[in-house]
Amino acid sequence: MNSKHLSKGARQLSPVRKGKIRLYTNRFCPYCQRVVLILDAKNIPYEIVNINLLNKPDWMYDKSPMGKIPAIEMDNGEVLYESLIIADYLDEKYPQRQLHPKDPLQKAKDQLLLRQFTKVINALLKSIHVGRVDNDEAEVITEGLTTFENELANRSGPFFAGQKPGMLDYMIWPWCERSDVLKMFGRAYILKKDKYKKLMDWRKIMMEDETVKKSCCDVNTHIKYLQSHRAGLPDYDLLCFK
């Protein structure tokens, strides 16, 4: 997972080994982490190819449009991209530990919640881009967190999927893992523990999940990476031995 990120000029890779999936990813991309979580949750054999997002290998553009990641390549040469598309495909293709709800109505409701969470993601990304959390973005984040706090109160267990994490849990986790970076912008108060008690409890037990542990980074690492990104020189290989 922490191998160096390949850049322009990197040699063409050999074909994917039989029975494996190759994941084109980036260590600090939350969309890529979504796919890692699904692969790990289902114990699907896969190999990692880390990609430098600012200087992608030429052959990456042959794998997916505009060299988009995350992308997975199967041993038959087929390639899929977009995190949610990949997650849905993997859940259907590998039925061990089904992550989507079995009830079609609940699955649809979870997908609506995930769409709503996209607003929170966009607010966070905008804040990171401009280097501050404006009041409009703070309001969007607060409203989104309130929705998910209330939703947890109606679930049958500590996770959105009940007694153990499911698709919705894993799809929103990468941004919840990074939520503490808000303190960089003086907005740590947004994550009020008394206001979002269930979410804070959820976050704590998610960090104890064996699947999450495999790809989780601590807040100091995320902040250090974010600082390098804002300086215009994102240190994708921050976790590699130098």
Q: Does residue 64 surpass a pLDDT of 80?
A: yes
What residues act catalytically? Answer: 29
Residue 189 pLDDT > 60, yes or no? Answer: no
Task: Read off the pLDDT of each residue in 40-60 and give the average, rounded to a whole number.
Answer: 96
Coil/strand/helix, residue 130: helix
The pLDDT of residue 125: 74
Give the pLDDT confidence score for residue 93 in this predicted structure.
Answer: 96
Name the more confident of 190 and 137.
137
Q: In 3D, which of 79, 178, 166 has the Cα closest to residue 125?
A: 178
Res 235: pLDDT: 95
Which residues make beta-bridge pairs with 22?
47, 73
Given a contact cutoff of 8 angstroms between Cβ atoms, the answer to whether 135 and 123 are in contact is no
Q: Report the distance separating Cα 59 and Cα 71, nearest Å.
A: 13
pLDDT at 242: 47
pLDDT given at position 73: 98
In the chain, % of residues over pLDDT 90 = 71
> What does the pLDDT look like over 125-184, one tens digit per residue?
777 666 666 777 778 888 888 999 999 999 999 999 999 999 999 999 999 898 877 665
Cβ neighbourhood burial of 138 (10 Å; 0-12, 13-18, 19+): middle
Classify 104-230 by CATH class: mainly alpha
Question: Which pLDDT value is given to residue 241?
Answer: 55
Domain boundaries, the chain: 21-93, 104-230
Mean pLDDT of the chain: 90
Comparison of pLDDT for 86 and 192, the residue scoring more: 86
What's the CA gap between 193 and 83, in Å, rounded? 30
Domain 21-93: which CATH number of 1.10.101.10, 3.40.30.10, 3.40.50.150, 3.10.20.30: 3.40.30.10
Percent residues over pLDDT 70 in the chain = 91
Mean of pLDDT values over 235-239: 93
Contact 46, 94 (CB under 8 A): no
CB-based contact 181:226 (threshold 8 Å): yes
pLDDT tens per residue, range 138-149: 788 888 889 999
The per-residue pLDDT for 159 is 97
Write the Ramachandran bin of 184: left for phi over 0, alpha for psi from -120 to 50, otherwise beta.
alpha
Rounded Cα distance, 234 and 212, in Å: 24
Q: Is the pLDDT of residue 25 over 50?
A: yes
